[in-house]
């Protein structure tokens, strides 16, 4: 396995359900930089069901762009790099593609271990089909039938604090054992025990001849403490193995990665958590990844990560799942023109049939990004109940930065389109920075961080991520057109100063180019709070520029859209134009 | 160029070898052998549905200690027994016994209790097409080979059916009406255009049709379509897009023949697509459909998205650079000679190969 000293060139591959991406990193002037990316169709699904072909196509494209051979004639990675400059020094792979293992959760107390099990399951790629708990009112034999009928790929067993309950845990284990013994060898699920650590050996021994069992660290070592990270990393390995049984090529990728292959969500969460330790500790970091099959929401507060993989949400095959959380009217409220509910509904379901297809007409684009807004809103709503901060208030806690990734964000026709989508969907308050990941580097950087700890910060600082700008969103409400605040932007180094009054209902862009900094002075009217300690409190801070400069979103928080369809559509159109999303 | 795009492939073939997989939901028994000829109505595999299990507390019922239960057991674990048959006992002067509550078997003993499995009627799978069994694992899956026309669809309601195919309506864009559905269509598989209201779907149920092949239905009809007892297969998707001409003409040319509808409800990472198979005799051995075809000049494609959704054409050339579309989206594209429209640039992501 490569070490930090030996490693210069790193290839990262991420296998999604629609795309496979390959990214080459190299050391330039002593720091890691993204050199190039290659993208190809994912071949995890029909017709090949083998991730290697997609990986080869993406790496071939990378080779064509860089002129550097990366694969040998047999299609294997050239590892390590040759003296002629072919190949790479290190390889990391991440994957979100693949069927989600059908999972039965088995635990003790509904509000304790079962709740923790649910949270663990929702933080990764599992499809929970059944739950069995200690207070389950069904008879034991019914529980056995349920376990058998569920045809699980995985049974996740939890319960008991370390040194705590043992008899009830072992009774529950026996129920699982009886159910497993009724299944044929080919049908037997993988078993994971994440409960009372003292029972690990007994559980292993009990299942010895029945089914493979993986003992992972207790997710609830005490009543007050919940620990997911160690268990999740081991659980990820079980998920990868289950997927490898159904889709070819994962074992090759894992072998090239030195035996470890991360799940995309884990790598994504790792980056968000790291950033929360680097940025303002009083604010959280929010990461959102909108994939075809999943919407992943990672929120971290001073190193504490909350990760949620919403597998029933996604801009592709999981699209119909949105209907559980949003109505057609909810989606249509973001449109700048009139569309029938039937057309919006047809669009949504067709997107599930053709997840990789692109909107080429303007009307379709607006529907697609209205769906993205509601996907983000649903993803955050499902996630934020578990956040360490701000779970109890309707507005989100202060966030810095907000990072968005995924195909829809990457291919937004203009930066303004991406920015307005994020502002509408997330409705941040106060001052934050909107960052997008157009090359889908976060999984690569997260996976590589285990091998090269310095790569995260070096790539982040290299400009490979695109800052849309500093967004200022005052909290408060007023009548349309009433002054909200006075703003002054003084660029460092003597650029042209801009100053003016922003009125309620406006979205205003103040120019400040990427790489430039400025002193931003905000003087809110009474009744508006921008995060300087209360309503009407003025202040100044140093801000960085971006693709759109400084974005003042004076539409109020929470954002209230007009009930009159014509007025609402007119305003949606105006805001799109104001942020330069439309020509 | 475009070597990194492996497009979806949709098979619409007038004559090919079709391999049809039949799979039980759980391991059971494949009731036919490899090289055996089968007819559509033949049972090819069966399985006991998930059984119900009961704990019979033998120790309590017989009034004995847990450790003594093995001594009084009268049945072999795993051996089928009939309802009322003595499982354990007699014990004591009262000659207490425990009897089977249903047809089933005792599986194991645990803490003085017998885990009893009650058996139900088996779940059966039919061949669905005439053909020859070419592979079987003996317990859950088999493959039937047949020859004929193959049309893969985009969506199905999860049902399966077989019957003579009849054409209704004036063409692929014609809306399905209740007035088109009369008693003469009873028991037939129907080929029609598009459907945007529920009434014809319900009327088709009353006529006991064996299946419905459509270009599109509006998405609001999905819950209704899922409730129908007959198979519904869509070739295009949701909305009112007409069935593509290539597919319609192929199906129309086979009107009057028997058709098998596999209206599979697609799941992510499922290998089974919704499909129509029209068995046809073929003397020489035909090749199977291609698994993958790269986008290249001369390849026939179907456009999946507006403004040309459902239109079929042929790739003239692949554009070397990404192109901007009216939405502002930048994408790699191909110039496609669309039937009835002419040359149009279409993103590669919006094309699927008609193989």
User: Which residues of B, range 9-28, sit inside 8 Å of A by Cβ?
Assistant: 9, 25-27
Do residue B222 and residue B106 come from a single domain? no
Contact: A360, B4; criterion CB under 8 Å: no
**Domain end marker among B118, B138, B156:** B118
Pairing of strands B194-195, B211-217: parallel
Find, in chain A, the residue whose alpha carbon is nearest to that of B118.
Answer: A145
Do residue B150 and residue B236 come from a single domain? yes
The secondary element (H helix, E strand) that includes residue A470 is strand A466-473
The alpha carbon of residue A332 is apart from the nearest alpha carbon of chain B, in Å, by 16
- Could you list the beta-strand ranges (E) of A182-312: 190-193, 213-215, 262-263, 284-290, 295-301, 304-310
The alpha carbon of residue B351 is apart from the nearest alpha carbon of chain A, in Å, by 8
For range A546-555, the mean pLDDT: 96
A162-187 tens-digit pLDDT:
888 788 889 999 999 999 988 888 88
The alpha carbon of residue B100 is apart from the nearest alpha carbon of chain A, in Å, by 16
How many other C-beta atoms lie within 10 A of the C-beta of residue A68? 20
ipTM over 0.85: yes
**So what's the pLDDT on residue A6?**
55
Q: Residue B286 pLDDT > 80, yes or no?
A: no
Report d(CA A162, CA A172) in Å as an integer. 17
What residues form DSSP beta bridges with A508? A552
Query: Position of tokens 């762009």?
Result: A65
For range A440-444, the mean pLDDT: 93
Contact: B219, A40; criterion CB under 8 Å: no
Q: Residue B20 pLDDT > 70, yes or no?
A: yes
Computed on alpha carbons and rounded to an integer, the radius of gyration of chain B in Å comes to 27
Helices (H) and strands (E) in chain A, counts: 16, 22
Contacts of B233 in chain A (CB under 8 A): none
Contacts of A46 in chain B (CB under 8 A): 8, 269-271, 273
Please give the CATH topology (third level) of the domain spanning A10-95: Nucleotidyltransferase; domain 5 (3.30.420)
Do residue B93 and residue B174 come from a single domain? no
Test the A interface: residue of B327, B332, B351 with most A CBs within 10 Å: B327
Q: Residue B5 pLDDT > 80, yes or no?
A: no
Domain membership flag for residue B178? yes
Report d(CA A414, CA A548) in Å as an integer. 10
Q: Residue A322 pLDDT > 50, yes or no?
A: yes
Do residue B211 and residue B164 come from a single domain? yes
Report d(CA A554, CA A331) in Å as an integer. 22
Compute φ and ψ for A385, nearest 5 degrees: -60, -25
Report d(CA B301, CA B319) in Å as an integer. 15
Q: Residue A407 pLDDT > 60, yes or no?
A: yes
Q: Which two tokens stand for residue B224?
A: 């209704």
This prediction has a pTM of 0.91
Number of independent structural domains in chain B: 3
Q: Residue A80 pLDDT > 90, yes or no?
A: no
Round the average pLDDT of chain B to a whole number and report it: 92
Do residue B193 and residue B262 come from a single domain? yes
pLDDT-above-70 percentage for chain A: 99
The alpha carbon of residue A142 is apart from the nearest alpha carbon of chain B, in Å, by 7
For range A485-489, the mean pLDDT: 96
Domain made up of A266-578: CATH architecture: 2-Layer Sandwich (3.30)
Q: Residue A148 pLDDT > 70, yes or no?
A: yes
Q: In this structure, what CATH number is given to the domain that contains residue B244?
A: 3.50.30.10
pLDDT band at B266 (very low <50, low <70, confident <90, very high): confident
Contact: A357, B7; criterion CB under 8 Å: no
Domain membership flag for residue B2? no
**Domain end marker among B98, B118, B138:** B118
Query: Exposure pattern of A460-497 as b/e (b: 16+ CB <10 Å)?
Result: beeebbbbbbbbbbbbbbbeeeeebbebbbebeeebee
Task: Point out the residue among A61, A358, A583 whose CB comes nearest to the CB of B347.
Answer: A358
Cβ-proximal residues to B83 (8 Å cutoff; 6+ apart), any chain = B99, B100, B101, B102, B103
Q: Residue A316 pLDDT > 80, yes or no?
A: yes
Q: Residue B250 pLDDT > 50, yes or no?
A: yes
- Could you list the beta-strand ranges (E) of B153-226: 155-156, 159-167, 189-191, 194-195, 211-217
Contacts of A60 in chain B (CB under 8 A): 3-4
The alpha carbon of residue B238 is apart from the nearest alpha carbon of chain A, in Å, by 5
User: Which residues of B, range 142-161, sit inside 8 Å of A by Cβ?
Assistant: 154-155
Do residue B257 and residue B311 come from a single domain? no
Compute φ and ψ for A109, nearest 5 degrees: -85, 135
Q: Does B52 touch chain A (CB under 8 A)?
A: yes
Give the 3-state secondary structure of residue A31. Answer: strand
Report d(CA A89, CA A80) in Å as an integer. 5
A339-377 tens-digit pLDDT:
999 999 999 999 999 999 999 999 999 999 999 999 999
For range B53-59, the mean pLDDT: 90
User: Which residues of B, range 319-348, sit inside 8 Å of A by Cβ?
Assistant: 325-331, 346-347
A493-528 tens-digit pLDDT:
888 898 999 999 999 999 999 989 999 999 999 999
Task: Point out the residue among A43, A61, A362 whose CB comes nearest to the CB of B6.
Answer: A43
Do residue B196 and residue B311 come from a single domain? no
**So what's the pLDDT on residue B3?**
53
Report d(CA A174, CA A496) in Å as an integer. 74
**So what's the pLDDT on residue A287?**
97
For range A208-224, the mean pLDDT: 89
Contacts of B220 in chain A (CB under 8 A): 342, 345
Give the 3-state secondary structure of residue B38. Answer: strand
Contact: A413, B291; criterion CB under 8 Å: no
Alpha helices per DSSP H over B86-243: 199-206, 222-227
Q: Which two tokens stand for residue B203?
A: 């009327």
Q: Residue B11 pLDDT > 50, yes or no?
A: yes
Do residue B38 and residue B186 come from a single domain? yes
Contact: B273, A99; criterion CB under 8 Å: no
In terms of Cβ atoms closer than 10 Å to its own Cβ (0-12, 13-18, 19+), residue A506 is middle
For range B192-201, the mean pLDDT: 97
For range A18-30, the mean pLDDT: 92
Q: Residue A100 pLDDT > 50, yes or no?
A: yes
Domain membership flag for residue B284? no
Domain around B184: 9-47+125-279
Q: Residue B51 pLDDT > 80, yes or no?
A: no
Do residue B142 and residue B187 come from a single domain? yes
Domains A10-95 and A266-578 share a fold: yes
Work out how many CB contacts closer than 8 A connect A with B: 162
Report d(CA A429, CA A445) in Å as an integer. 28
Report d(CA B132, CA B37) in Å as an integer. 4
The secondary element (H helix, E strand) that includes residue A466 is strand A466-473
Do residue B22 and residue B62 come from a single domain? no
Contacts of A181 in chain B (CB under 8 A): 107-108
Do residue B188 and residue B252 come from a single domain? yes
Q: Residue B1 pLDDT > 50, yes or no?
A: no
Task: Point out the residue among B27, B50, B220 whose CB comes nearest to the CB of A184.
Answer: B27
Contact: B25, A583; criterion CB under 8 Å: no
Spatial CA neighbour of A444 closest among A99, A16, A2, A51: A16
**So what's the pLDDT on residue A278?**
87
pLDDT-above-90 percentage for chain A: 76
B102-116 tens-digit pLDDT:
899 999 888 889 999
Report d(CA B306, CA B92) in Å as an integer. 81
In terms of Cβ atoms closer than 10 Å to its own Cβ (0-12, 13-18, 19+), residue A260 is middle
Contacts of B238 in chain A (CB under 8 A): 345-346, 349-350, 353
Q: In this structure, what CATH number is given to the domain that contains residue B340?
A: 2.30.30
Task: Point out the residue among A41, A140, A354 whose CB comes nearest to the CB of B4.
Answer: A41
Q: Residue A462 pLDDT > 80, yes or no?
A: yes
Report d(CA A274, CA A449) in Å as an integer. 10
Round the average pLDDT of chain A to a whole number and report it: 92
Could you give the C-alpha distances from A370 to A336, A383, B325, in angstroms and in order? 10, 20, 19
A128-141 tens-digit pLDDT:
999 998 888 888 88
Q: Which two tokens stand for residue A266?
A: 């884990």
pLDDT band at A3 (very low <50, low <70, confident <90, very high): very low
B134-178 tens-digit pLDDT:
999 999 899 999 999 999 999 999 999 999 999 999 999 999 999
Q: Residue A2 pLDDT > 50, yes or no?
A: no
Domain membership flag for residue B287? no
Chain centroid to Cα B289, Å, comes to: 18
Query: Position of tokens 């990004």?
Result: A369
Spatial CA neighbour of A289 closest among A218, A380, A353: A380
Task: Point out the residue among A45, A140, A343 whose CB comes nearest to the CB of B269.
Answer: A45
**So what's the pLDDT on residue B284?**
67
Q: What is the DSSP string of A126-175?
A: -EEEEEE-TT--S-HHHHHHHHHHT--SEEEE----TTS--HHHHHHHHH
Compute φ and ψ for A71, nearest 5 degrees: -115, 145
Contact: A354, B305; criterion CB under 8 Å: yes
**So what's the pLDDT on residue A5?**
43
Q: Residue A118 pLDDT > 90, yes or no?
A: yes
Which tops the pLDDT comparison, A460 or B80?
B80
Q: In this structure, what CATH number is given to the domain that contains residue B76?
A: 2.40.50
**Domain end marker among B68, B97, B118:** B118
pLDDT band at A4 (very low <50, low <70, confident <90, very high): very low
Range name among A397-411, A530-544, B286-300 with the lowest pLDDT average: B286-300
Domain residue ranges of chain A, discontinuous segments joined by + = 10-95, 102-244, 266-578
Q: Residue A456 pLDDT > 60, yes or no?
A: yes
Q: Residue B54 pLDDT > 60, yes or no?
A: yes
Range name among A252-256, A429-433, B277-281 with the lowest pLDDT average: A252-256
Contact: A60, B307; criterion CB under 8 Å: no
Contact: A362, B326; criterion CB under 8 Å: yes
Do residue B185 and residue B275 come from a single domain? yes
**So what's the pLDDT on residue A465?**
92
Domain membership flag for residue B4? no
Contacts of B271 in chain A (CB under 8 A): 46, 49
Contact: A354, B304; criterion CB under 8 Å: yes
Give the 3-state secondary structure of residue A273. Answer: helix
For the domain covering A102-244, report its CATH number.
3.40.50.360
């Amino acid at each position: 396995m490569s070490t930090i000293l030996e490693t210069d060139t790193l290839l990262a591959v991420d296998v999604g359900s629609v795309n496979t991406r390959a990214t080459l990193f190299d050391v330039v002037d002593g720091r890691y930089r993204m050199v190039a990316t290659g993208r190809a169709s994912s071949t995890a699904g029909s017709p090949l069901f083998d991730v290697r072909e997609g990986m080869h196509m993406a790496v071939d494209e990378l080779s064509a762009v860089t002129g550097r051979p990366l694969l040998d004639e047999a299609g294997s990675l050239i590892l390590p790099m040759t003296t002629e400059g072919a190949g790479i020094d290190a390889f990391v792979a991440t994957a979100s593609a693949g069927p989600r293992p059908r999972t039965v959760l088995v635990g003790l107390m509904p509000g304790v271990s079962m709740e923790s099990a649910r949270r663990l399951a929702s933080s990764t790629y599992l499809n929970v089909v059944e739950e069995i708990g200690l207070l389950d009112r069904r008879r034991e034999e019914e529980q056995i039938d349920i376990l058998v009928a569920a045809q699980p790929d995985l049974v996740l067993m939890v319960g008991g604090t370390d040194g705590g309950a043992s008899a009830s845990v072992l009774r529950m284990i026996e129920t699982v054992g009886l159910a497993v013994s009724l299944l044929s060898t080919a049908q037997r699920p993988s078993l994971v025990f994440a409960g009372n650590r003292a029972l690990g050996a007994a559980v292993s021994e009990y299942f010895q001849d029945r089914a493979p069992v993986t003992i992972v660290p207790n997710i609830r070592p005490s009543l007050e403490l919940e620990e997911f990270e160690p268990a999740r990393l081991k659980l990820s390995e079980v998920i990868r193995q289950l997927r490898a049984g159904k889709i070819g090529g994962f074992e090759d990728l894992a072998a090239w990665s030195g035996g470890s292959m991360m799940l995309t969500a884990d790598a994504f969460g790792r980056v968000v958590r790291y950033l929360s330790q680097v940025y303002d500790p009083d604010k959280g970091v929010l990461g959102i990844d909108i994939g075809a099959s999943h919407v992943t929401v990672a929120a971290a507060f001073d190193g504490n990560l909350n990760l949620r993989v919403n597998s029933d949400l996604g801009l592709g095959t999981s699209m119909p799942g949105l209907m559980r959380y949003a109505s057609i009217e909810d989606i249509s409220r973001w449109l700048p023109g009139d569309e029938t509910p039937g057309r919006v509904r047809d669009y949504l379901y067709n997107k599930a049939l053709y997840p990789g297809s692109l909107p080429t007409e303007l009307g379709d684009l607006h529907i697609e990004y209205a769906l993205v807004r509601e996907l983000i809103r649903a993803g955050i709503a499902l996630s934020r109940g578990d956040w360490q901060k701000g779970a109890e208030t309707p507005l989100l806690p202060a966030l810095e930065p907000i990072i968005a990734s995924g195909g829809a964000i990457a291919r937004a026709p203009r930066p303004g389109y991406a920015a307005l989508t994020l502002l509408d969907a997330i409705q941040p308050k106060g001052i934050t920075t909107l960052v997008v990941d157009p090359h889908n580097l976060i999984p690569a950087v997260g996976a590589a961080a285990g091998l090269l700890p310095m790569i995260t910060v070096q790539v982040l600082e290299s400009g490979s991520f695109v800052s849309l700008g500093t967004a200022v969103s005052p909290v408060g409400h007023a009548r349309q057109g009433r002054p909200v605040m006075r703003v002054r932007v003084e660029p460092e180094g003597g650029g042209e100063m801009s100053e003016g009054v922003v009125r309620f209902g406006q979205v205003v862009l103040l120019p400040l180019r990427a790489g430039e900094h400025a002193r931003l002075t905000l003087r809110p009217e009474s009744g508006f709070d921008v995060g300087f300690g209360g309503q009407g409190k003025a202040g100044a801070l140093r801000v960085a520029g971006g693709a759109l400069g400084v974005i003042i979103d004076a539409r109020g928080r929470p954002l209230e859209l007009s009930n009159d369809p014509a007025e609402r559509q007119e305003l949606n159109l105006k805001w799109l134009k104001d942020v330069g999303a439309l020509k | 160029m475009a070597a990194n795009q492996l497009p979806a492939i949709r098979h619409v073939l007038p004559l090919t070898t079709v391999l049809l997989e039949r799979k039980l939901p759980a391991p059971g028994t494949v009731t036919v052998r490899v090289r055996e000829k089968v007819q559509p109505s033949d049972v090819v595999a069966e399985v006991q549905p998930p059984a119900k299990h009961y704990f019979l507390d033998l120790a309590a019922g017989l009034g004995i200690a847990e450790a003594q239960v093995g001594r009084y057991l009268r049945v072999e674990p795993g051996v089928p027994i009939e309802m009322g048959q003595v499982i354990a006992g007699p014990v004591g002067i009262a000659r207490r016994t425990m009897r089977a509550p249903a047809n089933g078997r005792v599986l194991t003993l645990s803490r003085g209790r017998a885990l009893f499995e009650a058996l139900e009627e088996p779940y059966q799978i039919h061949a669905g097409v005439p053909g020859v069994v070419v592979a079987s694992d003996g317990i859950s899956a088999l493959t039937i080979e047949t020859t004929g026309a193959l049309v893969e669809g985009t969506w199905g309601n999860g049902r399966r059916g077989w019957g003579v195919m009849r054409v209704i309506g004036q063409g692929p864009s014609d809306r399905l009406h209740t007035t088109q559905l009369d008693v003469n269509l009873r028991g037939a598989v129907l080929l029609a255009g598009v459907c945007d209201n529920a009434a014809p779907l319900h009327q088709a149920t009353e006529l006991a049709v064996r299946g419905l092949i459509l270009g599109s239905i509006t998405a609001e009809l999905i819950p209704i379509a899922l409730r129908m007892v007959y198979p519904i297969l869509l070739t295009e998707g949701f909305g009112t897009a007409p069935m593509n001409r290539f597919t319609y003409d192929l199906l129309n040319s086979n009107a009057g023949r028997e058709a098998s509808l596999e209206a599979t409800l697609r799941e992510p990472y499922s290998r089974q697509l919704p499909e129509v198979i029209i068995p046809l005799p073929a003397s020489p051995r035909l090749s199977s459909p291609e698994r993958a075809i790269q986008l290249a000049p001369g390849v026939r494609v179907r456009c999946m998205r507006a403004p040309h959704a459902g239109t079929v054409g042929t790739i003239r050339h692949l554009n070397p650079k990404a192109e901007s579309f009216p939405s502002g989206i930048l994408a790699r594209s191909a110039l496609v000679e669309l039937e009835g429209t002419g040359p149009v640039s279409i993103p590669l992501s919006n094309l699927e190969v008609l193989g």
